[in-house]
Structure 1
Amino acid sequence: LLLENGADVTVQGGEYGSAIHAASANGHQAIVQLLLGNGADVNVQGGQYETVIQAASANGHQTIVQLLLENGADVNLQGGQYGSAIQAASANGHQTIVQLLLENEAD
């Protein structure tokens, strides 16, 4: 409904940094897909996690991490609470995400 009424998916600010950060951190795969389909930047930076892939990795959302990778997410972007997606997944015990990131050339 927001998109139908002209919401800008690239607006930044707040705790998460952007709508795609918030959706990724909270496991809302359908919303992530909707945002990507409407021009959201998969590599936008900001908020507590800094990167979208770090937000999904920290919270154990493997299907979203895979979706982000398929849409061009940079697995090695730095910054935020954990420093990188692989550090976020490692710190929170998400072994399958660590493996997925390594398979996609995480440092």
Structure 2
Amino acid sequence: MDCSLYGISIEHEAGESGNALQTAAIQGSKDTVQLLLEHQVDVNAQGGYYGNALQAACRRGHRDIVILLLENQVNVNAEGGQYGNAFQAAAYTGHEDIVQLLLDHKGDVNAQGGYYGSALKAASRSGYQDIVQLLLDHKVNGNTRGEQHGNALEAAAYAEL
């Protein structure tokens, strides 16, 4: 399969942003994301700071791009990148609507990894009580421990400092 657009490789590693799809997701360019998907880029391509396009869009709060990626069979539970998974990226930055979208698409609320270890710890550390409650309502395990801030209660206490 030829994965080029106007002579430029669209799956080439692009440094911090990973690839062209991830770059477009970071920048919030829905039209570019749509164009790349129409040219059959790998919606689940890994690499870069955010790990994948879904995690980048979640971190930046680009809900319309998250929806577009979900409609194109992105792996909602893909791991990797700074935040470990899309849940953690959205929770850390307070995007409750995106956390709900991920829940609606069968995302794993107990996925671990990344800097904060879990979405619950990321939301707790950032002080987003509504997201913490949403995750608790969906049976998230509040006792998981990780390298940063121990468990969710310790992360919440750290946020109050």
**TM-score of the two chains, using structure 2 as the length reference:** 0.66
Structure of higher CA gyration radius: 2
1:49 maps onto 2:76 in alignment? no
Q: How big is the shift at 1:18?
A: 0.2
Q: How big is the shift at 1:79?
A: 0.9
Letter in 1 for 2:127: G
For these two proteins, the number of residue pairs brought into alignment is 107
Q: How big is the shift at 1:6?
A: 1.6
List runs of 5+ in structure 1 lacking aligned partners: none
Bigger relative CO (Cα 8 Å, ≥ 6 apart): 1
1:17 maps onto 2:51 in alignment? yes
List runs of 5+ in structure 2 lacking aligned partners: 1-34, 142-161
Letter in 1 for 2:76: V
1:103 maps onto 2:137 in alignment? yes
* Partner Cα distance (2:78, 2:86) in 1: 7
**TM-score of the two chains, using structure 1 as the length reference:** 0.98
1:27 maps onto 2:61 in alignment? yes
**Greater share of residues in strand:** 1
Q: Give the percent of matched residue pairs that are identical in Structure 1 and Structure 2.
A: 56
What stretches of structure 1 move > 3 A for 4+ residues in a row? none
